[in-house]
Amino acid sequence: MKIATFNINGIKARIEALTEWLAEAQPDVACLQEIKSVDEAFPRAHFEDLGYNVETHGQKSFNGVAILSKLPLEDVTRGLPGDDTDEQARWIEATVVGRTAIRVCGLYLPNGNPAPGPKYDYKLAWMKRMQARVTELLATEEPLVFCGDYNVIPQPEDAAKPEDWKTDALFLPESRAAFRRLIHLGLTDAIRTRDPRPGTYTYWDFQRGAWERNNGIRIDHLLLSPQAADLMRETGIDKAVRGREKPSDHVPAWVDLDA
């Protein structure tokens, strides 16, 4: 079962690039972030025609997550528990029914800039809520995959120029510590474990020729519970997608599970 994460930065603008990548990469499951669309405006029928089941958790203009799956999806839930006043669409869960059932959580973690400030406070509070949800799900001892745009650069080697990110919410010590706390619950960073080659990033800014200079960062992650890590066969980052027409600023990252 090939599970991918892809921050598409607007479904309307990315429908062609996404369709091309789906055709060549053939993921069984694709978790999408920043669909920037309400549910009613998501081109559901287009992806259903390609053989995908479609579940969205959208929002006007900003954020928004979705799961496309060739396999049946069960027990779909929307929103990260822990704050009923949070109206930002950043979390969706579903159980993918393959040979082995996998609980997949697609997430778009808050950016947090500028830091310090209310946006950074929201990011850290959100990560605390995620910690609680992950803890809850780990107790089920099911195979779990938490994938998405984490907006966290875990280590200096995950940035081409780490010194440029010293005061950025993506690399501040509190953000990295909160990410480490997730890892220390027992999750495996699939890409880091299986594809730790330097210079393999998942995001290059649209500005200042970041792509041309390979000035990237690795912020899109797939974290696996022990039961999912045991099934891990292969991982990858589809870097070439960034060099095409009308690209997102992120590229897909994926894991293949024996499930």
Partner DNA sequence: ATGGTAGCGGTGCTA
Binding site for DNA (CB under 7 A): 9-14, 36-37, 60-63, 110-111, 113, 119, 151, 206-208, 246
Q: Decide the pairing of beta strands 91-97 and 101-108.
A: antiparallel
Residue 37 or residue 56: which is nearer to DNA going by CB? 37
CB of 164 to DNA, least distance (A): 10
The answer to whether 53 is annotated as binding is no
CB of 90 to DNA, least distance (A): 9
Q: Choose, from 108, 120, 150, 201, the residue flagged as catalytic.
A: 108
CB of 11 to DNA, least distance (A): 6
The answer to whether 7 is annotated as binding is yes
Q: Choose, from 52, 57, 120, 149, the residue flagged as catalytic.
A: 149
Residue 60 or residue 128: which is nearer to DNA going by CB? 60
Residue 110 or residue 148: which is nearer to DNA going by CB? 110
- The whole-angstrom separation of Cα 37 and Cα 65 is 9
Whether 203 is a known active-site residue: answer: no
The answer to whether 221 is annotated as binding is no
Angle between helices 173-184 and 118-138 (to 10 degrees): 10
Closest CA to 104 of 188, 202, 26, 5: 5
The answer to whether 151 is annotated as binding is yes
DSSP annotation string for 46-85? HHHHTT-EEEEE--SSS--EEEEESS-EEEEEES-TT-TT
- The whole-angstrom separation of Cα 104 and Cα 102 is 6
Which residues does 177 contact at the CB level (< 8 Å), separation at least 6? none
CB of 18 to DNA, least distance (A): 11
Residue 43 or residue 98: which is nearer to DNA going by CB? 43
The answer to whether 113 is annotated as binding is no
Q: In what order do the strands lie in the sheet with 144-149?
A: 73-78, 91-97, 101-108, 144-149, 220-224, 188-189
Whether 122 is a known active-site residue: answer: no
Residue 16 or residue 75: which is nearer to DNA going by CB? 16
Q: Decide the pairing of beta strands 232-237 and 53-57.
A: unpaired
Give CA separation, 222 vs 5, 49, 96, in Å: 8, 27, 16
- The whole-angstrom separation of Cα 66 and Cα 87 is 16
Whether 221 is a known active-site residue: answer: no
CB of 203 to DNA, least distance (A): 9
Q: In what order do the strands lie in the sheet with 29-33?
A: 53-57, 65-69, 29-33, 2-7, 253-257, 232-237
- Residues with catalytic annotation? 108, 149, 250
Binding residue numbers: 7, 34, 149, 151, 249-250
Binding residue numbers for Mg(2+): 7, 34, 149, 151, 249-250
